[in-house]
Structure 1
Amino acid sequence: MTSNFKINFHHFRDALGLNNTISIVVAAMLLITTNCFAATDGAYTLSEVTGVWDGTSADATAPVTAEYNYVYGDDTTMTYTLPWIFFFYGHGYNQIVIDTNGAIWFDSDTSAHDFNLATPNRGLVLAPWNYDLSSTYEGGVFVQHKSNPERVVIEWRTETYSDEGDGLLNIFEAVIFLGGVVRFDYQSFTAVNPGDSGSGISKDDGSYYLSSTTNYGNSYSLAGHSFSFTPSGPSTTAPLSVDINGTGTGSVTTTPVGLACNASCSLDFPLGTPVTLHPSASQYSSFTGWNGGGCSGLDDCVLTLTANTLVSATFTFNAANSVKIDGVTGYYPTLQGAYDVAPDGAVMKLWATDYSESLNCARPITVTLQGGYDENYTTQSGMTVLKGALTISNGIVIVNGLSVR
C-alpha cells in the first residue's frame, strides 16, 4: 500500500566535538540482562536486557542537519550513510536503508513488511517490528547519530496501516552500536489492529536468523522492554587508543568519524577498518610527530586495525616565537631575552598564554609590555599571564593586557 507523494532524502555525517574521552563499554548502554535465557543462531546471541529508551529528537519540522534526519509516509524508505563501518553477519556496511514498516535493510533499497526472516533473497535485515505500518498522517521515522558510546538511533513513531489516520501511535527503536551490537527498545503501543509477522534479524540465507517474536512475544506486547543482539564468537573489533602528550596542546580526530579528543582517549573500530588520524595543533603549538601504530612523520597517519593499537601524538609549545618586538625582525623565546635587547620606546608583544618566568627591568629605557595576542601577533583579544616576578629598578615599563601572578 503506497501513498502518492514523493520525498527527497538527505545523507549526512556527524562530527564529534572535542573534549570527549571516549571509552565504549557496550554493556553500560545495554545495562544488565533481566534473565538468564538467551537464544542464538550461531552468529548472534539474543537476550533481554533491562528496559531502556535512547530516543531521537523526533521532530518532523526540524531541519535536516549533520546530526539528524527523518522520513514519513507509507512504504517509504530513507538511505542513511553511517558515520563508520558497521559489521552485520560478517559484512561491513557504511549505508543502511530504513523503511516506514519497521525494518532496516543492508542489501535492499525497497520497503517490505510481513516477510519471513527464514526466507532468503530479500536482503539482510534488522526488523524491530515486522508489520504493515504507516506514518502518512502521524509520526515518522527519525535517525540520529549519538556518541559516548558511538551509536545510531532509529526511532519509529507510527500507526499500523489498519489504524491509519486514527492517531494511534506506536513508538519503538533500533540502536546500532559501533562494534556490532544491536538493541531493540519498545516504548509504547496503542494500536487497535496490531500484528507481528516475525520480528528480529536475518542474514538472508535461510540459515542464520533470530526471531525476537518467537523468543519473547509479539513486538506490540513488549512495551517497556529491551533486547540485545550481540555478535557471537571472536571479537570483530579492536580498540584504537590515542595518547596526546608534549609541552603544547592539540587534538586528534579520525576518519571514519569516531575519535575526537584533546586528551588521551580510546574507541573500538571494526577489525580491518582503515582509519586515518588527523592531528590539529592548538594556537601557540605545533604538531611534532607520531609514535606507535606504524605512524610517523608530521602528516595524517593511515593505519588498518588488526589488533589493539596505541598511537601517541606529540604537540610542542612554540616557545621560540613567544615574544615579538614591534618593528624588529625575528622573535624571542623569553621576556627577559627580548627586554635585554629592546630599543628605547619598544613595544614588546606577548601571546595570550602563560609565561613561567620572571622579568627584571633595570635599563634606563621605556618599554611597553603588550599582552593578549594571537600566535600571529595580529589580534589582541586575550590576556597574558606572567607566572613569576616583575621587577622594575630602572626606566619606565607600561603594561597593557598583562597579569602578574
Structure 2
Amino acid sequence: MHMFMSIIKEPSIIIAIVTLLGLLFQRKKLSEVITGTTLSFMGFTMIKVGGGILGGVLTNFSKIFSYAFNLKGVVPSNEAIMALTIDQIGADAALILLFSMILNILLARLTKFKYIYLSLHLILFMSFAATAVMKGLGMNSLVTIIVGSLVIGSYMAVFPYLLRNASRNIIKSDEYTIAHASMTSYIIGTYLGKVFGNKNNDTENVKINDRISFLRDPNVATTLTMLVLLLVSGLVAGADFVSELADGKEYIVFILEQSAIFAAGLYIAKAGVKLFTTEIVPAFKGFSQVFAPGAIPGVDVLVLFDKAPNSALVGFLVSFFTGVACVFIFPLVGLPVIVPGIMACFLAGGAAAIFGNSSGGFRGAVISSCLNGFLLCLLPALTLPLFNYLGAEGVTFADPDFTSLSAILWAIFRWF
C-alpha cells in the first residue's frame, strides 16, 4: 500500500508506465521505446518542476497579500488536508483510487464514455474527500470503498465526455482532452459564455497599442503582471515584512526576482507540456488499443495555457479578485471566510477563462473565471462542516469537483 501511494503521488511515473506500455503494445523499436518513455517522463516532470516554482512564488505572494490586507480564514489546500489526514483515511482513499482507475478503463472500453483520466494526483485528492465524507457519516470501510469507487470511477469517464466539445474547440483535435478538478466550472462557464458573451471579441485578438506592444509576449506580460501584484501588496505590507520573508534580501530585489521566477516557472511548465503531449498522445493509442480501444487521454489544463495566454492571464486576475471580494462578503451572510487559494485561482481560473473565451470571447472569459473564483470560495465554505471531524483546522478541500461531489455524497448518504 505504501508503495502504491508513493507511485500515485508521482503522476510522472504513471505517465511513463502508460507511455512504456503503449509503445510496447505497438511493437516499437527498443530505441523508440526508451526515447518515448524517457521524454514523456521528463516532460511531465518539467510540468511538476514548473508547477513547484509557480507554487513557491504564489505562496510568498499569498503571505504578503494576506498580511497586507489582514486576511484570516480557512485556506483551501488539497495537499495540506491530505497530508494531515493520511493516517486516518489514507488506506481507504488509496483503494478507492485503485478501483476508480479500473472502473474508468472498463467504462472507456464498454461504453460511449471513452475517456481515461490521466491527472491521477487530482483523483487521489478526490478519493480523500469522498472517504472523509463517508467516514464522517459513520459508514464502514467496505461501503466507503464501494461507493467512492463507483462514483469517482464514473466521474473520471463522464465529465471529460461532457467537456469534450468545449475542449475540442480549444485544442482543435480529438487527440486528447481535458481532465481536471474544476470541470464543473468549465462546463458551466462555457455555457454562460455562450449565452452572455460575444465569441467575435476573442481575448487573444485584443488590439494592443504599439507603445505597449511588449505585452504581446506572454512571458513579458506574465512577469509584469506578477511584478505589479507583488509591488502593490509589498508596499502595503511594508518593506520590513517582505525583507523578513525574503531572509533579509532587499525588498525590491526580492520582488523583481520573484516576478521573473514566476514567469520562468510557467515557461518550464509549458515546455514540459509540449514535450509530454508530443510523446503521450501517440503512445496512448497503443495503450488504448489493448485496454480500451478508441479511448482518449484526459490531461491537465496546463496544456491549454500556451494556446490562449491572454485568456489565462485574465482568468487568474478575475478569479483571484473575485475570491478577495468573497472574503469581505461572506461574513455578512454568515459564511466562514475562505482565503483565496492562489494556485487554484491561477490554474483553474486561467483555464475557466480559456473555456469561457472559446464560447463567448472576452466577456465569456470574465464571466467564466468570475464564476470559478466564486465557486472556489463558496463550495469550500458550504462543505467545511463535512470535514470538521478530521481535526484539520484552518484548511479544507479546494476544487469545485471535490467539494460538489462531497456535498452530493453527504446529501444522499446522511439518510442511511
* TM-score, normalization by structure 1: 0.20
**Whose radius of gyration is greater, 1 or 2?**
1
Structure ranking higher in strand proportion: 1
The two structures have a TM-score, normalised by structure 2, of: 0.20
Structure with more contact order per residue of length (Cα contacts < 8 Å, sep ≥ 6):
2
